[in-house]
Amino acid sequence: MRHSIGPALSLVAALMFFALLTGPCRVEAAGAETIRVNGSGSALYVMRPLIKAYLKAHPGVRIEMEKPLGSSGAVKALLAGGLDMVVSSKVLKSEEAAQGGISREYGKMPLVVVTGKQVSKRDITTKELEDIYSGKVRTWPNGEPIRLVLRPDADIDTTILAGLSPAMGKAMKAAHSHPGMIVAVTDPESDEAVAKTPGSLGTAALSSILVEKAPLNVLALNGIKPSVKTLANGTYPLAKDIRFITTKHTPPATLKFIDFIYSPQGRAIAGKAGVLVPVGR
């Protein structure tokens, strides 16, 4: 039996809207225009410094950003009128576009391999990952058991890590088939599980370390440290996309905020948060 962390992926609309209304992270200004944003947990980390900078220059705006619904859940809420914009790590599906979703590319951020702080390892190879996720290797060099923190089968982190090599794809399938595995649904839940689980190994967005200061041990991959620079020069292979999803009904106040995100100032802020934003976007 696997241990699933967080809500089920198939959230009903009522639960999504409840989450939107009751989450803990809300930035408000009295009598302000309201912008409701949600999406991928890792992308929402990047939104925090962008929101802070935007509100400093636009005190008459109110921005609501609740607990992450994930890319798919947030797009459903957007199309149902429960959100004004979505920051997503997934490509917009054809049926979502047919329902009115409009996607705009933004950038990429490194997906990093992480352990808890108690694990002394500093670098890991693709071969080591293949052996660990397949179950061939079950302990760290000091004999401590390795506890994998997985993301769901359909999660983008799972897809990206599986794409590291053909053998890694098979290893990921093997890991998800093993009983008793820890499966974290959202990025914050995964970060917390890795931080608190002895001998843990999982993945996280670089933004969680740079913005949220998550207490995680970031591993170099095949000797390459994850960074915006190594992602840009092509030496670091694991990356998560960031794109913004809107509709034709997106309010002007939200479009103005998105313009700021794509501005030179917004791109610079995102860069410090671990995002590679191509010039011209």
Which of the residues in the chain have pLDDT under 70?
1-32, 279-281
> Which stretch of DSSP H or E encloses residue 62?
strand 61-65
With CA atoms as reference, report the closest residue to 212 among 230, 236, 238, 188: 188
pLDDT confidence of residue 245: 97
219 and 115 in contact (C-beta within 8 Å)? Answer: yes
- Domain boundaries defined on the chain: 7-108+241-272, 109-232
Superfamily of segment(s) 109-232: Periplasmic binding protein-like II (3.40.190.10)
C-alpha 4/C-alpha 19 separation (Å) is 19
User: Which of the listed CATH numbers 3.40.190.10, 3.30.300.30, 3.30.465.10, 3.40.50.300 matches domain 7-108+241-272?
Assistant: 3.40.190.10
222 and 228 in contact (C-beta within 8 Å)? Answer: no
Domain 7-108+241-272 and domain 109-232 have a common topology:
yes
Summarised one tens digit per residue, pLDDT across range 51-93 is 999 999 999 999 999 999 999 999 999 999 999 999 999 999 9
pLDDT confidence of residue 29: 43
C-alpha 121/C-alpha 19 separation (Å) is 38
pLDDT confidence of residue 30: 46
pLDDT confidence of residue 3: 57
Q: What does DSSP say about strands 216-221 and 102-116: parallel, antiparallel, or unpaired? A: antiparallel
C-alpha 150/C-alpha 252 separation (Å) is 39
- Altogether, the residues listed in the chain come to a count of 281
C-alpha 114/C-alpha 206 separation (Å) is 10
206 and 212 in contact (C-beta within 8 Å)? Answer: no
pLDDT confidence of residue 172: 97
pLDDT confidence of residue 32: 65
pLDDT confidence of residue 4: 57
Burial of residue 23 (CB within 10 Å: 0-12, 13-18, 19+) is: middle
The sign of the torsion formed by the CA atoms of 251, 256, 259, 261 equals negative
